[in-house]
Amino acid sequence: MPHNIDASALLLAGGSGTRLWPLSRVMYPKQVVRFIDNQSLIQHTLNRLLPAFSPDKIQVVCGNTHALNIQNDAQEINCKHDRLIVNEPCGRNTAPAILLGTLYIYETDPDAVIFVFPADHSVDRLENFYEKIAQADQLAREGNIVTFGITPEYPETGYGYIEASHQRIGDGYKIERFVEKPDIQKAEEYIKAGNFYWNAGMFAFKASVLINTFQTHMPDMLNDLKQMIANHHLDEAHYQTLENISFDYAIMEKTHSGVVLPSNFQWTDIGSWKSLYDYLPKDNNKNVIISDDAILQNTQNCLVQGHHRLIVLNRLSNIVLVDTHDALFVSDMDHSRDVKDAVALLKKQNRREYKVHTHQVMHWGDIYILDEQADCVVSKIIIHPGAEIPEMRNILEIKQWQVTSGYGVVKIDNITVQLQAGENVTIENGMTVAFENLSKEPLIFIEISTPIKSVSDDMLFE
């Protein structure tokens, strides 16, 4: 059974997971998507760590746009404290993220042992996992920077590898080198050699050891981040200048303190629809069905994801089908990673679908896009009891609001207007607006937003 160790856990929850579009999007990335058992990947990660770490010693490094979803997911499984979220002003790869989280912990406990885990990976054979955490804890206390090396079960070409030297360090080995994702021939050679391990991106170290290592190998990044923290201001423009570099490149490939800990728990990087299919249990036809209403006829080796309508597949094999409110993705299984290229095209075209879903979670409530046309957008807006939407200026649109439930007030150019079910309000271009829900029930209204260009000049200036 796991035991609670006196160490901190730092979860990395950045990234957008473009290979898992259309469920994973920039504003709703894969770590908060509920792929497995109606829990998000970050909830699965937290549930896995809570038996080994005190809740108040778990922190999540993420961007501000994802903080609310992550905080809500953590609270749902009773993992909450005031310092849970470490906000990055913008994403700059794993080296700055790990250093940022480490510096905050170092302030109160310079010799704290810190574990780093990606928030979007899956781990099974948990008894082995907890055993390796205890071994890594001991190695880290002795001054090593530990990386977990997963014993490979087959010649995988989608993962990086770590080559272990023959020099034994406690339960681990000195690191010989890191190897990029190999071709199948090289991967087979690594398996046969017996001293190569999958690089899982999990680490353990003492805070003081890592700070000293950054001082040696990445002093500019260390000094810049220390200055920002001392000024109590993580400036986005300043943070953007930090080198965009991974922890492996910045530290692990340079340090002489690196140790790989061979690990025999089952590990999966849920990085694509193919990897999700490989991980999840399958039916008798080797299909993975994540849907409440799907019929598969003479169909094998497929992944079907969708909850919004009836899905029927007939005489298909080796297919991924993912259905959301506003997008449908269909691909052969082996090339489903290529969805990232489609996402890049959507971004280039400035399409909303690469970035957000039709349902957006806000700190004050929810927005549901019901219909979207060139001349108008119809949305359902829900404001939580007692919540407020801070003042904003309406730009280049005319908005019409029809209240369907609840009551509250809206301030339009500092004039307070009472709102209740059955009433409607029109907000014209340039007006400032702020909302407050005064009831113990949600305040719900339908919004029709019309771009100015589609409105006649007579309407604008009457």
366: domain CATH number is: 2.60.120.10
Which stretch of DSSP H or E encloses residue 72? Answer: helix 64-76
Indicate if the pLDDT at residue 25 is higher than 50.
Answer: yes
Contacts of the segment 102-106: beta carbons below 8 A, 24+ positions apart: 102/10, 102/207, 102/210, 102/211, 103/211, 103/225, 103/226, 103/229, 104/59, 104/229, 105/8, 105/10, 105/59, 105/207, 106/207, 106/208, 106/211
Per-residue pLDDT band for 414 (boundaries 50, 70, 90) equals confident
In a shared domain, residues 82 and 181: yes
Strands (DSSP E) contained in 225-284 are: 258-263, 266-269
Number of domains in the chain: 3
In a shared domain, residues 385 and 413: yes
Q: Is residue 354 part of a domain?
A: no
Q: Is residue 263 part of a domain?
A: yes
Helices (H) and strands (E) counted in the chain, each on its own, are 12, 27
In a shared domain, residues 175 and 237: yes
* Identity of the amino acid at 127: E
At 391 the pLDDT is 86
Rounded to 5°, angle at Cα 264 from 262 and 265? 125
Q: Which of 1, 208, 235 is nearest to 114 (CA)?
A: 208
In a shared domain, residues 90 and 136: yes
In a shared domain, residues 255 and 284: no
Q: Which of 251, 269, 287 is the last residue of a domain?
A: 269
Range of the domain at 179: 8-269
In a shared domain, residues 159 and 257: yes
Mean pLDDT of 445-459: 69
CA torsion angle 446 402 376 435 (round to 10): -70
In a shared domain, residues 314 and 389: no
In a shared domain, residues 91 and 195: yes
At 455 the pLDDT is 42
Q: Which of 269, 288, 312 is the last residue of a domain?
A: 269
Q: Is residue 329 part of a domain?
A: yes
Indicate if the pLDDT at residue 3 is higher than 70.
Answer: no
Listed in sequence order, the residues at least 6 apart from 376 whose beta carbon sits closer than 8 Å to its beta carbon are: 448, 449, 450, 451, 454
CB-count burial class (<10 Å; 0-12, 13-18, 19+) for 373: exposed
Give the pLDDT confidence of 401-412 residue by residue, as tens digits: 999 999 999 999
At 113 the pLDDT is 98
Task: Encode 191-207: b = buried (16+ Cβ within 10 Å), e = exposed.
Answer: beeeebbbbbbbbbbbb
Rg (CA), the chain: 25
Mean pLDDT of 203-207: 98
Indicate if the pLDDT at residue 242 is higher than 80.
Answer: yes
Average pLDDT, the chain: 91
In a shared domain, residues 30 and 172: yes
Mean pLDDT of 238-257: 94
Please indicate whether residue 34 or residue 198 has the higher confidence score (pLDDT): 198
In a shared domain, residues 39 and 188: yes
Percent of the chain with pLDDT over 90: 71
In a shared domain, residues 183 and 209: yes
Q: Is residue 425 part of a domain?
A: yes
Q: Is residue 454 part of a domain?
A: yes
Give the pLDDT confidence of 306-357 residue by residue, as tens digits: 988 999 999 999 999 999 999 999 999 999 999 999 999 999 999 989 998 8
Give the pLDDT confidence of 287-300 residue by residue, as tens digits: 999 998 999 999 99
Q: How far apart are CA 382 and CA 28, in angstroms?
A: 19
Mean pLDDT of 405-425: 90
In a shared domain, residues 109 and 254: yes
Mean pLDDT of 226-254: 92
At 453 the pLDDT is 60
